[in-house]
Structure 1
Amino acid sequence: MFTKAESQSEAAVKASFIVAAEIAKSARPFTEGEFVKKCLLKVCDVICPDKKQTLLNVSLRRNTVAARACELATNLQEQLKEKGKDFMAYSLAADESSDTTDTAQLSIFIRGVDTKLSVTEELLGLKSMHGTTTGKEIFEEVSKCLNEMMLPWDKLVGLTTDGAPAMHGQKNGLVGRIREKMWENHAGELTVYHCIIHEEVLCGKALKAEHIMNTVTRVVTFIRAKGLNHRQFQSFLEELGSEYGDVPYHTEVRWLSRGKVLKRCFELREEICLFMESKGKDTTELRDKKFQCELAFLCDIVSHLDALKLQLQGRGLLEPSCASYFVRFSQRFADFEAQKCRFELLSNPFAVDVTSAPTNLQMELIELQCNDTLKSKYDSVGAAQFPQFLPDTLPQLRTQAAQMLSMFGSTYLCEQLFSLMKINKTPHRSRLTDEHLHSVLRISSAQSLTPEFDELASKKRCQVSGLDPGASK
């Protein structure tokens, strides 16, 4: 009887942990736990009334859900710390943003590669900075994170930031201070990247084609802003038998619509001119051949940039492929160009010229390229998975692969975390503490790790009471 009661108590605690995790992931307030419990009890009355007491044992009070969230976050952090002991190499991505109460939040993500060449990509730490955010203070928080997680400096190989002076400064910024710290610890060279998405945006601004976009926006606004003009234009296209029934609307907020608007306007340039002329509008610029050539060029470039933006937004993205973009890209992406040989070693080691490879890798590279079995494996699994099949007899290539696989190409994960932060800490939840905010964001951003619900529940020594058991902290 006692064993059964203990088992039910542990199950109730596990259930409260599971619900708390879902509440955190959905960015809902901790008080939602009580609403969930009411719903469960209503369902229970209809489907399984004999199980009602079991559900009553599940504690979902606000304080309990908040405590569970903190414990879940601690469990994820401990798992990451344990995994970190096996990292051959790791890289960091760091960025800073302010929450709704104007508190600066520094997010630090880690991408580590273990001895099996498996990648772990998780939130290393989120630090609230209530004072200034100088390079020195940011470095101190990053250093504190690494020390808390017992991560050695000599395994740090890469750092990706947004390029702000406090981050990218070679002397007083985060980059300069980390390099100095690594030099003190006799660590290797730090590879630093300015977030590739930020670089791509800067390249896009270098096109100097505002006059084209302004003209197109003015035309589209004339057509779409007034309902009558919009309906008449749609009817006009139908009368002409155009395969396109409308032009999409563009605003600065909807940046992704820019490429679509340009493309449609170029395809409908003749129809648009005829419609504008029917309304007594001057179309001299629209019919100008030079303008149309510039519009065609901008249409293609912006379409490529929009596609690149989408490709760069996500997890697990490593390889930057920008060879087709020529507007200032050679300058902006010089840091990636410097690593070209190392990228090629990872993407296709069988096609690399051995003489161009680093000296310490040449003998192993020759052995690899002469191995038909490994070549067959590379052809079957692809470049992304192949490093996991490198044998222990090629230690230098394994280390090289681990270092390259650990690198971030962008601060996308930081930006994504800040989006989650804005969803969670709203003006209506401005009193959410830093501890609870950090716990919620660690849970909702977790990808490689999952909470150990059974272990967490077994550690609890719950005493089943009549009203609301399982609320022990």
Structure 2
Amino acid sequence: MDAYLKRTKSRLGPGENSDPDEGPSMSRGPKKAKKVCSRRYNESYLSFGFIFSGDPTELTPLCLVCGEKLSNSAMVPSKLKRHLQTKHPSLQNKDREYFAGLREQTGKLSALLRKHPVGNERAVRASYHVAELIAKSKQPHTVAETLIVPACKVIVNETLGPGALKEITQVPLSASTITRRIDDMSADIERTVLEKLRLSGKFSLQLDEATDMSGCSQLFANVRFVDGDGIKENFLFSKDLPERRTGEDIFHTASMYLEQGGLKWECCTSVSTDGADAEFGRNEGFVNQVKERQPEVIVTHILLHRETLITKTLPAELAAVLDDIVRMINFAKTRPVKSWMFPSLREEMGMDHEVLLFHTERRWLSRGKVLALVYELREELKAFLTNERHNDAKLLSNEKWCAQLAYLADIFQHLNDLNARMQGRNENMLTSTDKINGFRSKVQLWRQHVQRGNLDMFTHTQKWQIVDSAALCETISKHLQNLEQKLVFYCPSLDTDTLDWVRNPYSSIVVTKDMTLQEQEEITELRQNRGLKLNFADLPLDTFWLKAAKQFPILANRAISVLLPFSTTYLCELGFSSMTAIKSKKGERLCAGEELRVCISSIPPNISTLCSTEHDSNFTLSSHTCE
């Protein structure tokens, strides 16, 4: 077959061998690189609607009509003409003067864009501020177009006159714009938080999970870290969990986020959870997997959830009363006709409360509010149940039952007050333990007074003291004894005596027996430091120890490790409530993670930077069209 092949004779240079079986000659020179030719712009290309842009060493053709940039190799008449005929066929018969006028107009617009920011920078800034307010108020994004803009127009028209209305119309407030603004602010806050965590070097995590309206499980995470001269806490993330919601799934979700943010488990000093099986499983729980990565991590069980467990340990007699109340409320609330009849009856009898509340296990304040409302509306509820011929109407006529209802309303009100005092930002294990121990001491004091027949601490109950006082006091005394025992069981007291030096290193009763020699040396020297001692009373505790860390690093680092862990799920509860408001029935599929960050974050977005970034991007896009 080789005989039928037509071989072309190659031109041989000096030293080249024509024999294919022989190797290349050693005298062959190096192969020359292919020369790349950069095409230049010609004014005749304007007749095809093209001008030039880009680096002067390698110009690229830019279409005046659509703003599309072609490669340098396309800067030939045939390719430019093909673009005009295929992309803009209606303009293919236009002469060169038409495109010259178009170039002049776009040149003027380019100069205007350089002089004034695209979209009016003040209007863009106002758009960001409005989007932030919408996110913090948990309103739908369409509220800007449907309410805010019309309201602003009415106010401006009435106060400043019709001439100022054009300023309002320049502010971009469409629903899609609000969504984009919120996403930008969320990304900016997230970058700031992650950068602060990387600079801090240590942080504390708080995790909890809840189910949204669509039935999807959400993992919430908050973080506490050292920032400048204080300890700050902030929302970290909200992620969807798989259906199983195992400890392994929680650990994988948290680990993926930390790794993407450039963080390591080795920097996590403590983890706080609610003690569920997924977190505290024996083998594959979230906590066990964290300890494999960080053996020195401090694991804390949220004190608030422990107290919730205590409230479930009611004696049988009082638990029956609570079941009766739940049954009455369900009867009045779960039937549409009866649900409307009870408010009407309440209004006729002149009561201030609107409706009864459902009792929920998840919300820790629900029982106290439910019991207080039922007690105050007991006469109205009795009349309603009597009209409906319900058997529970007899219970509301029973004085012993009403006395027990009054005690439940009182004791749960005290528990609600304790819960409310443990809520808020910057709560730590020391302050929460003090409040738990203080409540435990009050329970002991109450029990002593109840045994003597004094019920002054229970405002509603003391009105029923005339009804079989001895039996009522005995029931209350037994419950208080049981409550005290459960407080000891679920909330074992921290050894706070050995941590008093964290609260006040200058106290004369500070115990230092569990300190190392270096820590004892530093606290001895710290007590003689007059400058820090004079500032101690004027500085917050975390700020004082961070200031002392420059001279006493070992002692200050241990103090910070005591103040960093979370003691309550306040931030998670705040996130759950915000998620419920944001994910309404109309928007249950909405991804609320970005909006939650803007809504509950204590770190504000840098709106000035976002405005300048958007201006630069808009100017780049516009200059491509106008160059």
- TM-score, normalized by length of structure 2? 0.59
Moved more, 209-218 or 126-135: 209-218
Equivalent of 1:146, from 258, 273, 287? 258
Q: Report the equivalent of 2:81.
A: none
Summarize the alignment of residues 154-233 of structure 1 with structure 2, pairs less than 5 Å apart. 154-183=266-295, 189-208=296-315, 210-211=317-318, 214=321
Q: Aligned pair 1:316/2:472, yes or no?
A: no
Q: Report the equivalent of 2:608.
A: 454
Q: Aligned pair 1:133/2:245, yes or no?
A: yes
- After superposition, the Cα gap between the structure-2 partners of 1:103 and 1:259, relative to the gap in structure 1 and judged at 3 Å, is closer
The number of residues matched between the two structures is 420
Q: Report the equivalent of 2:599.
A: 444
Q: Aligned pair 1:124/2:280, yes or no?
A: no
CA deviation vs aligned residue, 1:29-51 (integer Å, no higher than 9, x gap): 12222122233233333324333
Bigger relative contact order, structure 1 or 2 (CA pairs below 8 A, ≥6 apart): 1
Q: Report the equivalent of 1:347.
A: 503
Structure 2 residues without counterparts, runs of 5 or longer: 1-111, 329-340, 361-365, 378-393, 441-483, 620-627
Equivalent of 1:252, from 337, 359, 367? 359
Q: Report the equivalent of 1:408.
A: 566
CA deviation vs aligned residue, 1:399-423 (integer Å, no higher than 9, x gap): 1222222210012211211111111
State the AA in 2 paired with 1:76.
Answer: I
**Percent identity at matched positions?**
25
Separation of aligned partners in 2, 1:305 and 1:450: 34
Q: Report the equivalent of 1:53.
A: 166
Separation of aligned partners in 2, 1:417 and 1:387: 30
Separation of aligned partners in 1, 2:395 and 2:167: 76
Q: 1:250 touches 1:258 (CA, 8 Å); kept in 2?
A: yes
Equivalent of 1:78, from 182, 191, 196? 191
Residue 172 of structure 1 deviates from its aligned partner by 0.6
**Higher gyration radius (CA):** 2
Separation of aligned partners in 2, 1:41 and 1:401: 55
Separation of aligned partners in 2, 1:370 and 1:390: 13
Summarize the alignment of residues 93-132 of structure 1 with structure 2, pairs less than 5 Å apart. 93-114=206-227, 116-132=228-244
Separation of aligned partners in 2, 1:423 and 1:117: 34
Q: 1:313 touches 1:412 (CA, 8 Å); kept in 2?
A: yes
Q: Report the equivalent of 2:65.
A: none
Task: Name the Cα RMSD after superposition.
Answer: 3.8
- After superposition, the Cα gap between the structure-2 partners of 1:264 and 1:210, relative to the gap in structure 1 and judged at 3 Å, is farther
CA deviation vs aligned residue, 1:116-146 (integer Å, no higher than 9, x gap): 4412211111111244211111101111121
Q: Report the equivalent of 1:378.
A: 536
Q: 2:368 touches 2:409 (CA, 8 Å); kept in 1?
A: no
Any idea what SS the aligned residue of 1:368 has? helix
State the AA in 1 paired with 2:607.
Answer: F
Summarize the alignment of residues 259-278 of structure 1 with structure 2, pairs less than 5 Å apart. none
Q: 1:249 touches 1:257 (CA, 8 Å); kept in 2?
A: no
Q: Aligned pair 1:66/2:176, yes or no?
A: no
CA deviation vs aligned residue, 1:72-115 (integer Å, no higher than 9, x gap): 1000001111111221421111111111111111111111113x
Any idea what SS the aligned residue of 1:355 has? coil
Q: Report the equivalent of 1:14.
A: 125
Residue 380 of structure 1 deviates from its aligned partner by 4.0
Q: Report the equivalent of 1:24.
A: 135
Q: 1:417 touches 1:441 (CA, 8 Å); kept in 2?
A: yes
Separation of aligned partners in 2, 1:146 and 1:309: 31
Q: Report the equivalent of 2:150.
A: 38
Separation of aligned partners in 2, 1:398 and 1:19: 42
Q: 2:242 touches 2:249 (CA, 8 Å); kept in 1?
A: no
Separation of aligned partners in 1, 2:427 and 2:531: 28
Residue 358 of structure 1 deviates from its aligned partner by 4.3
Structure 1 residues without counterparts, runs of 5 or longer: 184-188, 235-244, 266-278, 465-473
